[in-house]
């Protein structure tokens, strides 16, 4: 019988007005990969924050037993000293510092006030090799892509002598190729005896990599499923997560009415803001009609976000060529998102926490941010109307919260995404550009977001949806543009497209996986 490495017994954690964990029990065997799954707000990350000392002993009830010893962690350093290392969904790297500096930040090599840089970079290079990175540890983090940054985080964890590695949504920002490479790396670590806990909403990845799957719902453990054959039915996991069947991952569009072309981009070319010789969008042409959902798919670095942000008031890069037409008329947007909003264009960023929402402010304030003029009399905001607007969108989008005065930072990822959508819906745009609208949220919340997208299209809005998940692009779009190496390399009707045909276009373009 395998040794129990970790046991969390009767863990209860309460925030003001919310019981986030309710008598949770969780066991992990030595040398296994154990998945923790559940809807947003189910308590997965809270449980891991208790384990890692982010929520210190005394702020929760229950016991943590690690290697047979009852542990009382007061800081994250306490848990790391025992070999428990957590990698959060939001990467904690400093772009302007080298890989080696990042890996040993707060864990410096040297004596007293002096850092031994020779040892630092030599050790960093050794750990980078272990995770399959060929870059020098002296390379700046900003010079490598997101997939490689995720590997740097793992190398950083190994440098802390991790015995139990916790990965929170490790593939949420990665394309399919990089995701599979990371999962295979985890399987390689398992063969060497490392124990891992993975939190993920990508159930196909959970099935591929996990030996056991523990389902958490509404702050309670529902069940632990054995997956040693790695062929569990995803619907089996979903039933435990949401407490019901979800028979169709993508809601059907009813009475689809696609109208005239609403927005047209011709020969759009954008250069990098720091490296003007580098094109990030190269001679792109596309259009979207009223009532249409247009998907844009491409591998990491294809230029999708750069395209979206450059259309949205040139909020990224330097526009060096091309025209934008709205309802058949050419418009020249000032280099300002405000001008894009004035022309009824909205951009829902892929980074809701960093760029989309003010986490320290309420749902009410976040909802009105993009359209304050409609609430203002001179320089004074009508607070009663602001509250009414937030309440209207809370109800319309089924945002789960006791009050619109709740801080956005206290909401689950799925509810944060709904607030972000509410913010832009209240701006009353004609064109919505949605960049990774379901990133990092669970299958139930995804379905609700899909329904909102369909409702927007049914109301005659033009929707452009960027996604790294091919099934999502295929399931939600009317037409699909395929991007690679900063260019549009193909266009397909969704009804005629498949994962194979889209990947074949990318491979044909010469820069694909």
Span 221-265, pLDDT tens digits: 999 999 877 778 778 888 888 776 666 788 988 778 899 999 999
Q: In the block, which residue shows the tokens 């969008």? A: 281
Contact 60, 11 (CB under 8 A): yes
| Residue-by-residue DSSP string for 400-425 | --S-TTSBGGGS-HHHHHHHHHHHHH
Helix ranges, 192-326 (H) = 203-209, 234-242, 304-311
Compute CA distances 411 → 211, 362, 438, whole Å.
30, 10, 15
For 93, phi then psi, to 5°, come to -115, 150
Rounded to whole angstroms, how far apart are CA atoms 429 and 340? 10
pLDDT of residue 512: 40
Annotate 78-128 with three-state secondary structure: HHHHCCEEEECCCCCCCCCCEHHHHHCCCCCCEECCEECHHHHHHHHHHHH
pLDDT of residue 246: 60
β-pairing, 33-37 with 212-217?
A: parallel
**Radius of gyration of the chain measured on its C-alpha atoms:** 24
pLDDT of residue 1: 62
| Predicted confidence (pLDDT) per residue in 419-435, tens digit | 999 999 999 999 999 99
Burial of 181: CB neighbours in 10 Å, binned 0-12, 13-18, 19+:
middle
Contact 321, 268 (CB under 8 A): yes
pLDDT under 70: residue ranges of the chain = 1, 17, 173, 244-247, 300, 510-513
- Short-list 191, 166, 186, CA closest to 82: 166
pLDDT of residue 236: 81
pLDDT of residue 123: 93
Contact 29, 45 (CB under 8 A): no
Please tell me whether the overall predicted TM-score, pTM, comes out greater than 0.85 for this model: no
Contact 327, 262 (CB under 8 A): yes
């Amino acid at each position: 019988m395998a040794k129990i490495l970790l046991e969390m017994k009767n863990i209860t954690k309460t925030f003001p007005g919310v019981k986030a964990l309710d008598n949770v029990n969780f066991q992990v065997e030595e040398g296994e990969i154990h998945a923790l799954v559940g809807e947003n707000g189910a308590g997965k990350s809270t449980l891991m924050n208790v384990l890692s000392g982010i929520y210190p002993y005394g702020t929760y009830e229950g016991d943590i037993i690690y290697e047979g010893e009852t542990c009382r962690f007061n800081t994250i350093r306490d848990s790391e000293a025992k070999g428990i290392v957590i990698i959060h969904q939001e990467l904690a790297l400093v772009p302007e510092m080298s890989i080696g500096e990042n890996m040993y930040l707060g864990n410096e090599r040297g004596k007293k006030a002096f850092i031994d840089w020779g040892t630092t970079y030599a050790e960093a290079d050794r750990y980078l090799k272990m995770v399959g990175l060929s870059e020098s540890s002296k390379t700046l983090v900003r010079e490598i892509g997101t997939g490689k940054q995720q590997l740097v985080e793992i190398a950083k964890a190994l440098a802390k002598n991790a015995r139990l590695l916790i990965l929170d949504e490790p593939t949420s920002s990665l394309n399919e190729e990089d995701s599979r490479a990371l999962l295979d790396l985890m399987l390689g670590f398992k063969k060497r005896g490392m124990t891992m806990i993975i939190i993920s909403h990508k159930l196909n990845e959970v099935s591929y990599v996990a030996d056991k799957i523990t389902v958490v719902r509404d702050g309670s453990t529902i069940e632990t499923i054995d997956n040693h054959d790695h062929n569990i039915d995803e619907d089996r996991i979903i039933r435990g997560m949401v407490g019901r069947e979800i028979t169709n991952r993508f809601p059907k569009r009813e009475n689809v009415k696609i109208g005239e072309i609403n927005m047209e981009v011709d020969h759009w070319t954008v250069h990098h803001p720091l490296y003007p010789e580098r094109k990030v969008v190269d001679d792109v042409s596309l259009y979207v009609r009223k009532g249409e959902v247009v998907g844009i798919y491409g591998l990491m670095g294809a230029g999708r976000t750069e395209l979206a942000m450059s259309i949205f008031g040139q909020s990224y890069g330097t526009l060096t060529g091309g025209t934008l037409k709205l309802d058949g008329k050419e418009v020249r947007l000032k280099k300002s998102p405000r001008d894009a909003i004035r022309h009824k264009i909205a951009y829902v960023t892929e980074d809701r926490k960093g760029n989309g929402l003010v986490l320290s402010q309420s749902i009410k304030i976040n909802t009105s941010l993009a359209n304050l003029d409609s609430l203002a009399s001179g320089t004074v905001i009508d607070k009663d109307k602001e509250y009414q607007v937030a309440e209207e969108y809370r109800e319309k989008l089924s945002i789960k919260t006791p009050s619109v005065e709740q801080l956005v930072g206290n909401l689950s990822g799925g509810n944060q995404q709904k607030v972000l959508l509410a913010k832009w819906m209240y701006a009353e745009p004609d064109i919505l550009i949605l960049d990774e609208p379901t990133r990092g949220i669970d299958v139930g919340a995804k379905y609700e977001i899909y329904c909102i997208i369909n409702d927007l299209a049914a109301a005659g809005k033009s929707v452009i949806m960027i996604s790294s998940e091919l099934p999502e692009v295929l399931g939600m779009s009317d037409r699909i543009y395929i991007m690679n190496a900063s260019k549009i390399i193909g266009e397909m009707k969704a009804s005629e497209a498949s994962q194979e045909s889209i990947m074949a276009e990318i491979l044909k373009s010469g820069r694909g996986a």
